[in-house]
Amino acid sequence: MQYIHPILHHDAQLIAIHKPSGLLVHRSEIDRRETRFALQEVRDQIGQRVHAIHRLDKGTSGVLLFGLDADSARAVSRQFEAGTVQKRYLAIVRGWPTDEGEINYPLSRQYDDYERQPDTIAPPQEALTRYRTLACITLPHSVDRYPSSRYALVALDPVTGRKHQLRRHLKHIAHPIIGDATYGKGQHNRLFTQLYGSQRLLLACTELSFIHPASGIPVKIVAPLGDDFANLILALGWTLPKF
């Protein structure tokens, strides 16, 4: 079976798709049982080899960019490493964060299970995320010791690009992302499954901006939310953000 992914951008050097939640970018020792990978599916979809430029967590949806040749992929990857790529995410989180703010909290380097960890533990890496609260709601459902539950829709701009940065930073300020089985709260995740049938991480990459490796012209790629995320926002009585 061939899977067709919405194409957000396609030129001679690059292709960007809208990755759905639950799809791995490429084969990983972390999920050995998985048989679907975005890298292979995009290759099959366009009939051409593609090169991974960056990663999105399996549960995260949104803009996923590939190079159509190794040099172009390498050039844009260097922009990610240099922190010059602008990224925008949307998330639904527990609680009500302040209207806007910064999370400036260093994060320790995380290694995948198959990676060899160094004998000497490196100091935490600088990590900075800016956020803006777009909407809030109180649901009349008891979780833990509270008679009702608060949630918010937030826009997130990661200035640095550490592994799981947004998920770890939101946990750090006690506003974990709903649907996050690792850094979130199980009671709130289960409530969203019971009320709305949501079984995904409510985090989406909606925007990437970078310099095109061939033309040198700024490129901005935008991904509207998938139906599963968009319908949940509407069910909460919020207005869909404009893209």
Query: How far is the C-alpha of 125 from the C-alpha of 206, rounded, in Å?
Result: 25
pLDDT of residue 109: 80
The proportion of the chain whose per-residue pLDDT surpasses 90, expressed as a percent, equals: 84
Reduced to 3 states (helix: H, G, I; strand: E, B; else coil), residue 165 is helix
Q: DSSP of 62-111, one letter per residue?
A: EEEEEESSHHHHHHHHHHHHHT-SEEEEEEEEES---SEEEEE--B----
Catalytic residue list: 57
Does the pTM surpass 0.85? The reply is yes
pLDDT of residue 112: 55
Query: How far is the C-alpha of 19 from the C-alpha of 117, rounded, in Å?
Result: 30
For the residues 213-235, what does the mean pLDDT come to? 97
Sequence-separated (6 or more) residues with CB below 8 Å from residue 87: 157, 158, 161, 205, 207, 208, 209
Query: How far is the C-alpha of 120 from the C-alpha of 237, rounded, in Å?
Result: 50
Model confidence pLDDT, tens digit, residues 135-174? 999 999 999 888 999 999 999 999 999 999 999 999 999 9
Model confidence pLDDT, tens digit, residues 114-136? 445 555 677 889 999 999 999 99
pLDDT of residue 144: 83
Among the CATH numbers 3.30.450.20, 3.40.50.150, 3.40.50.970, 3.30.2350.10, which is that of 7-235? 3.30.2350.10
Picking from 102, 176, 92, the residue whose alpha carbon sits closest to that of residue 134 is 92
For the residues 67-73, what does the mean pLDDT come to? 98
Domain ranges of the chain: 7-235
